Structure 1
Amino acid sequence: MEVSPLVWGLTIAGIVGLLVFDFVFHVRKAHVPTLREATLWSALYVGLAVLFGLGVLVLAGTPAGSEYFAGYVTEKALSIDNLFVFLILMTSFRVPREDQQKVLLFGIVFSLVARTGFIFLGSALINSFAWVFYLFGLILLLTAGNMLKPTDGESRTADNIVVRLGRKIFHTTDYFDGDKLFTVHEGKRAMTPMLFVMLAIGGTDILFALDSIPAIFGLTQSTFIVFTATAFSLLGLRQLFFLIDGLLERLIYLSYGLAAILGFIGIKLILHALHENNVPFINDGKPVPVVEISTGLSLSVIIGVLTLTIVASLLSRAGKARTAIAGARRHATSYLDAEYTVDPAERERIFRLLLSERDQIVALGPKYRQEVRDEPALMALLERARESHDAAVARGEAPPAGPSKILPRR
């Protein structure tokens, strides 16, 4: 697919323009997006991505259009997995709710820059060395295997080597000063947690790029399609975070679906490498006659696997249990954190969610109550949140919660 410099320039300008628009009109002023705002803008960005894909389909043909949509759907699914890590990072660093948009936008911009670098590097390698397809396929198969390993989502932390090293070398604070990266603490210039959470997100973005770029190169070798599908999958990710915030833990089978997709693409890459083989010790450097997987079949498999895993996650009682448990712990911690938000409506929204999650935990039954790690500590945390809310009601700072209570009175 040949793309003129003019089209490249207009495309890049359009994407940068959307990011600048997002910052100026939505992110610059700290606030918590409403559900309506998040829904409208998420739909708008998805609509723009679909319109762009239809343009590719009409102007460049069905093969290019199919490659774009396969790449976009794959990258969007991987981006949702990124959001789960972003949630863990912001919870661990106690990022105020109003400032989470800035952190997310930084993560999106940094991810786009990092992935663009990997895209052009990958394209150069593919054009120079055919054996790179073997390497990309192996990376995806190893990544798929790692995704199948069991992990404890509640126990993951945000501390990585960059953050630990920064805390040892530089003067830092334990509190936020708005959205400032530096502040004055004890008469000295100090780094705030806002800088560290951005460093942590930047580090994870690089790791995610190492997985996502080989995946999309397994679907298309067009640099333009790889770049645009990746960029459009990242645009709107900030709004999507606030839209599906409560559903992230619910997607308990998403990692299995992504593992299946990455494994499938890894096999597709290796088959393509065998078909184009020139490695001397494989078939004497001659191409191997193997079946290649078409882009249409790839798109069908990707959509089918994602649909199956998302539906299975939403219907799973274990998923509902984990969602309620993780959400209750996170919302209780946030409610008790005086620095989490200054918006009374947001605090009340958190408490209402807490009431619903507590009721779900109580109704789980013995089988799913086992999902609760350290249940007495969790129930004590919920009790402290209820007492804090009761105190706020007594001071006239919050409306009564109604007849439902966090914990039954003894």
Structure 2
Amino acid sequence: MDYNHFVFWIIFSVVISIMLFIDLYATEHRHGKMSFKKSIIWTGVWIMVALIFNLIIYMFFEDGHDMAVQFLSAYIVEKSLSVDNLFVFIMIFNVMQMPEENQPHILKWGILSAVVFRVIFILAGMALLHYFHPIIFVFGILLFYAAYKIAFTEDKPMDVENNRILKFMQKRFKLMPDYKGPLFFIKNNQGRFITPAFLTLVLIETSDIMFAVDSIPAVLAITNDTFIAITSNIFAILGLRALYFALAGIMDLFKFLKYGVALILAFVGAKMVLPDLLGPQFVISTQVSLLVILSVLTLSIIISLLSSKNKGIDN
């Protein structure tokens, strides 16, 4: 690791630590559901911090212009996929009948755990690409399949009774089904029990790992720099708790967003495999990639809002 990267790792760690402390322990919304106004403010704060960090990369990082474009592209892709992931989070909370006041606590631990898994997956993906380059075609196929799945597969309600994960957990551990609080484990004179909140956390984590299978190849298609891949992912993920409460009541306004996300995944999949398949003349620059990603995302949001307005949805 060169000195430049080392300094930026320190800056990143300090910024994230301060932001996490403020968000999780020094604000009122840590006690329960975040209001829509506060969630919008905190979503904006997280995005602003990410953009300031990107500006620092641009100004002081070696080859700062290209690295900043890669960071922003990876950040936008991960943020877009995260919004799609929030649909699943909402469904899980509804199916598990989880009280709103417990949701921030579960989201906090779910998102912190997701950060750990993403770092592991990114490092593993980087190692695979370094030691076995043909794996790039597997990643490309995963991206094309994810694009197809998002665009053409309907979201089905979760079947709690037949969910394999829930069956496994309830078979291996004692459950206290009537407990409605935020604790994950309860201990009494009859032993130690898991709670519905813990089962909900397990479902949240499982869904996030499945989404990571889509998002990590997408990020690796944009950048081969470990620092850029990890920091862009973490910035995108850590703003999810606020974004969840901002979008929970207005998800129907963005029904065409998934098609934009699918198109972005297909594009980065093509960006990843075309140079190896057809030659270096098919290399897509980071600047063009960012322009395509921003254009597709913006267009899908505009179409969604116009469609909702035409159907009489009050924004």
TM-score calculated relative to the size of structure 1: 0.70
Counterpart residue identity of residue 25, structure 1: A
Shift of 1:186: 9.1
Contact between 2:222 and 2:286, CA under 8 Å: does it hold in 1?
yes
The CA distance in 1 between the partners of 2:27 and 2:163, in whole Å, is: 30
Contact between 2:253 and 2:308, CA under 8 Å: does it hold in 1?
no
Q: Which moved more, 1:239-248 or 1:5-14?
A: 5-14
Shift of 1:175: 2.6
Contact between 1:314 and 1:320, CA under 8 Å: does it hold in 2?
no
Could you tell me which of 83, 87, 97 is aligned with 2:86?
83
Alignment CA distance shift 1:202-1:27 (3 Å): farther
Greater helix content: 2
Secondary structure of 2:193's counterpart equals strand
Question: Match of 2:48?
Answer: 47
> Is residue 2:303 matched to residue 1:312?
yes
Contact between 1:88 and 1:157, CA under 8 Å: does it hold in 2?
no
State the identity %: 32
Question: Match of 2:135?
Answer: 132
Alignment CA distance shift 1:241-1:48 (3 Å): same
Task: Within 5 Å, give how 1:51-130 maps onto structure 2.
Answer: 51-60=52-61, 61-130=64-133
Question: Match of 2:22?
Answer: 21
Question: Match of 1:265?
Answer: 268
Shift of 1:250: 2.7
Shift of 1:97: 0.8
Shift of 1:28: 8.3
Give ranges in structure 1 of 5+ residues lacking alignment.
276-287, 325-355, 357-410
The CA distance in 1 between the partners of 2:226 and 2:219, in whole Å, is: 10
Counterpart residue identity of residue 8, structure 1: W
Shift of 1:188: 4.4
Secondary structure of 1:33's counterpart equals coil
Could you tell me which of 297, 302, 320 is aligned with 2:293?
302
Shift of 1:183: 2.5
Contact between 1:89 and 1:200, CA under 8 Å: does it hold in 2?
yes
Contact between 1:54 and 1:65, CA under 8 Å: does it hold in 2?
yes
Alignment CA distance shift 1:8-1:126 (3 Å): same
Highest Rg: 1 or 2? 1
The CA distance in 2 between the partners of 1:242 and 1:220, in whole Å, is: 30
Question: Match of 1:237?
Answer: 240
Question: Match of 1:376?
Answer: none
Shift of 1:317: 4.7
Contact between 2:183 and 2:197, CA under 8 Å: does it hold in 1?
yes
Shift of 1:98: 1.0
Alignment CA distance shift 1:181-1:320 (3 Å): farther
1:74-125, Cα deviation, whole Å (9 max, x unpaired): 1110111111111011111111111111111112111111110011111112
Counterpart residue identity of residue 198, structure 2: L
TM-score calculated relative to the size of structure 2: 0.90
Shift of 1:16: 3.6
Secondary structure of 2:69's counterpart equals helix
Could you tell me which of 255, 269, 274 is aligned with 1:252?
255
The CA distance in 1 between the partners of 2:11 and 2:275, in whole Å, is: 32
1:35-81, Cα deviation, whole Å (9 max, x unpaired): 23212211111110000011111123211111111111111101111
Alignment CA distance shift 1:64-1:289 (3 Å): closer
Q: Which moved more, 1:15-24 or 1:235-244?
A: 15-24
Contact between 1:313 and 1:319, CA under 8 Å: does it hold in 2?
no
The CA distance in 2 between the partners of 1:320 and 1:113, in whole Å, is: 42
Structure showing greater relative contact order (alpha-carbon pairs closer than 8 Å, 6 or more residues apart) = 2
The CA distance in 2 between the partners of 1:195 and 1:152, in whole Å, is: 24
The CA distance in 2 between the partners of 1:299 and 1:10, in whole Å, is: 25
> Is residue 2:141 matched to residue 1:142?
no
Secondary structure of 2:32's counterpart equals coil
Q: Which moved more, 1:131-140 or 1:16-25?
A: 16-25
Shift of 1:142: 1.3
Alignment CA distance shift 1:152-1:127 (3 Å): closer
Shift of 1:256: 1.2
Could you tell me which of 197, 202, 208 is aligned with 1:199?
202
Give ranges in structure 2 of 5+ residues lacking alignment.
none
Secondary structure of 2:26's counterpart equals helix
The CA distance in 2 between the partners of 1:139 and 1:150, in whole Å, is: 15
Contact between 1:148 and 1:259, CA under 8 Å: does it hold in 2?
yes
Question: Match of 1:214?
Answer: 217
